[in-house]
Structures are given as structure tokens and as C-alpha cells.
Amino acid sequence: MMHRLGSLSKKKAMIAASFLMLGWLFGGDGSVDLTNRLANPQLRHVFGTDEIGRDLFARFWLGGARSLTLGFFLTGLHLFLGVVLSVTVQPSLALRRGLLGFADWLASIPSTLLALLLIAFTKPGYGSLIFALALGGWIPYARISLTQLDALRGDLSLLQTTLQGASAMHRFRYHLLPRLWPLLSAQAAVGLGAVILVEGGLSFLGVGLPPDRASWGVMLASGRAFLLVSPWGLLWPALGLLMVLLLATRKSA
């Protein structure tokens, strides 16, 4: 059986969607309450509070929703860039060589370093984070779809659709994309985990999302600083990240 999402199975998509909804509904950056710092879990603050008294429950949900939204958005962007680039480049040999050479060269800078480098030269914020993570992320998608497109080059059914007068757009939508999709979606399932991982790391270092915005990386960083007083600020985001990455990186399923 093959359904439309391929490797991003329906069950996982449902979990992610409900998580996002919960996150954006119940989450919040939390308000500062200095009389109630580093509290343990209690009725009013189910997960406890952080070092300046913000509710960890709200921050946990919003942080998770942010990480996931960013992850989905960036994975979609990578997928889009990869497919569009490979389709435009495929007919011409010189362009293909150029793109593959560029990809090889870009891939020789490890992705975390590339992101750090770009962020060092720009103002911090969503824009530079997305740009830094999008710069190298399209490479695997472009490689996969290029090989697939090459394999389909001599395909007679494709030739037939062209002879019958199908437009390039129609050909792409109904004949090429369905054949590219299984491999691309498998890569996307891996890529989603990787994006969330890198984004969390950058936020942990304090160069990803702005520190006043709740995100799991930021929460981990501040939780680590107050570890000996109260472990809750560390434990909840750690648990959340583990769960999400476990779901995202699990083989097939």
C-alpha cells in the first residue's frame, strides 16, 4: 500500500499536527514572576518554573511548536529548492556539472559550521537562521531527484505525454513528481530530524532563535545553568527533544 505522504506516514503526521495545534494553542513565552523562581512542579505550574519564574509548561509547548514549525518549514523549503533546481538544471550538461560541483563544494563545509559562519556575519533573528539552514540543506534532495530524473530520461510513457501535447507543468505534476516522491519523502523524513537537531544546537549556543523566545534549545541552555538548584528546566525540553527526534529519525514506520 502506498499513500500520498510516503515515508512521512499518516500516523506521524497526525501526531505532529496535533502537537503543533496544542503548542500554538496552550503555549506561551510565559510571564516573569520573580517571587516564584525555579519552582518544582505544582498545581499552578504543572512543569514548574524557570529561573525568572516563567511557567515551564507553556514554554515547553510553545518551544516545541516553534522547533517543529521551523523544522517543517525548512524541510519543505529544502525539498522545493532541491526539486526546482534539479528540474531546471537537468536538460543541460554544463549546468548539471555546475550544480553538482557547487553542491560538492558547499558540502565540504560541515553544516553546523556553515550556519555558524553565516550567523556571525548577520544580525541574529529568524531571517538569518532560516537562510543559514537553507543554504546547504537542498543538496541531498537535488542529488536524489537528479539521479531519478536521469533514470527516467528514456522513458517512453513520458515521451508519449509530450507527444500528446501535455504542458511541461502537467508533465511535472502528474508524471514526474509521483515517481520522484517515494525517495524524496524518505529523505525528507531524515532531513526533518536533522534540521530540528541543528536548530536546537544553534539555539543552545545562543546564536539561533533569539533568547527571549521560548525554544527547546534556549530552554536547555538556561536549564543547564541552574541545574544544581532545580533540574526541571533541563529535563522537560530534553525529554521533548528526545521524543521528537526519536519519532522523526525512526526508520520507516
Partner 1 sequence: VIIRKLASNCFRASCTLLGVWVFVQSLPRLLPEDPARIAAGEWATDAEVQALRQVLRLDQPWFRALRISGLEWLRGGFGQSLRYRKPVSELLRQGFPISFKLACFAMLLAALLAWSLALWRGRSSRALQALAIASPVYVLGPLMLWGIAQHIPGLPVSGIQGWAAWILPTIALAVPLAGHQARLLTTQLESLRDSYGLRWSRGSGVPLTVAWRRWLLPAVSGPWLTVLGLQLGGLLGGAVLVESIFSIPGLGQILVGALNTRDLPLVQATVFLGAALYVFTQLIVEYLQAVLDPRLR
Q: Nearest to residue 15, comparing CAs of 244, 221, 250?
A: 244
98 near partner 1, rule: CB under 8 A: no
116 near partner 1, rule: CB under 8 A: yes
Return left, alpha or beta for 6; rule: phi > 0 is left, psi -120 to 50 is alpha, else beta.
left
Which positions from 163 to 202 touch partner 1 by CB under 8 A, shown as an x/- string?
------------------------------x---x--xx-
Residue 178 neighbours by CB distance under 10 Å: 11
- DSSP summary character for residue 231: S
241 near partner 1, rule: CB under 8 A: yes
Which residue of 69, 186, 205, 213 would you call a contact of partner 1, by CB under 8 A?
A: 205
122 near partner 1, rule: CB under 8 A: yes
Residues 6+ apart with CB under 8 A from 144: 82, 180, 183, 184, 187
134 near partner 1, rule: CB under 8 A: no
Task: Confirm if 74 and 130 have CB atoms less than 8 A apart.
Answer: yes
Q: What CA–CA distance (Å, rounded) separates 127 from 206?
A: 15
Q: What CA–CA distance (Å, rounded) separates 115 from 100?
A: 21
Longest dimension (CA), the chain: 75
Q: How many residues sit in the footprint of partner 1 (CB under 8 A)?
A: 43
Task: Tell me the closest approach of the beta carbon of residue 106 to partner 1, in angstroms.
Answer: 9
Q: Nearest to residue 237, comparing CAs of 196, 189, 207, 188?
A: 196
Binding span for partner 1 by CB under 8 A among 11-19, 27-35, 60-68, 216-224: 216-224
- Whichever of 110 and 178 has its CB closer to partner 1, that residue is 110
Task: Tell me the closest approach of the beta carbon of residue 196 to partner 1, in angstroms.
Answer: 9
- Whichever of 25 and 242 has its CB closer to partner 1, that residue is 242
Q: What CA–CA distance (Å, rounded) separates 234 from 106?
A: 35
Q: What CA–CA distance (Å, rounded) separates 144 from 8?
A: 17
Task: Confirm if 229 and 52 have CB atoms less than 8 A apart.
Answer: no
74 near partner 1, rule: CB under 8 A: no
Binding span for partner 1 by CB under 8 A among 25-33, 70-78, 82-90, 219-227: 219-227
Task: Tell me the closest approach of the beta carbon of residue 164 to partner 1, in angstroms.
Answer: 43
Which residue of 76, 110, 125, 178 would you call a contact of partner 1, by CB under 8 A?
A: 110
Which residue of 10, 170, 173, 250 would you call a contact of partner 1, by CB under 8 A?
A: 250
Q: What CA–CA distance (Å, rounded) separates 208 from 119?
A: 8
Q: Which residues bind partner 1 (CB under 8 A)?
A: 104-105, 108-114, 116-123, 193, 197, 200-201, 204-207, 217, 220, 223-224, 227-228, 231, 234-235, 238, 241-242, 245-246, 248-251
